[in-house]
Amino acid sequence: MAAPRRSGPRLAAVLALLLHLAAVIEGKSFYDVLQVPKGASEDQIKRSYRKLALKYHPDKNPDNEEATKRFAEINNAYEVLTDQEKRKIYDRYGEEGLKQFQGGRGGGGGGMNMQDIFSRFGEKKTS
């Protein structure tokens, strides 16, 4: 009887690709929300965030649910793109991958832990 093959790294790569594709299909990226290019510097992100946050701030748009929703999106995008670790995960796995990473990181969530996936890529195959 043959020993079962370990497909962990291959499975993780497929999962990462699926997560990224789901994020792309889902809609606007955080870069689109902040109206900056993907390679934007932290300074560009901050400038755009300030401009958009002022425009959509609930105090400037009372009783406007759409502006409040947009303001929340802008804040969320800014939080991710100005945190180097979160931005790296977001760029690689998309928003869903980021949610899974955060869920498996001490939030008690049942999601997968991206650090575990990263570490599996470095494991040596033993027979």
Q: How far is CA 63 from the centre of its chain?
A: 30
- Confidence class for position 39, pLDDT limits 50, 70, 90: very high
Answer yes or no: is pLDDT of 13 > 80.
Answer: no
The pTM (predicted TM-score) of the whole model is: 0.62
Provide the residue ranges of all domains of the chain, joining segments of one domain with +. 8-120
DSSP state of 61: S
Count CB atoms within 10 A of the CB of residue 53: 16
Answer yes or no: is pLDDT of 11 > 80.
Answer: no
Sign of CA dihedral 58, 37, 82, 73: positive
Residue range 76-115, pLDDT digits in tens: 999 999 999 999 999 998 888 888 887 765 444 444 444 5
Sign of CA dihedral 31, 43, 56, 99: positive
Max distance between CA atoms of the chain, in angstroms, equals: 70
Which pLDDT value is given to residue 15?
Answer: 54
**105 vs 99: CA distance, rounded Å:** 10
Q: What is the CATH code of the structural domain delimited by 8-120?
A: 1.10.287.110
Question: Mean pLDDT over all residues of the chain?
Answer: 77
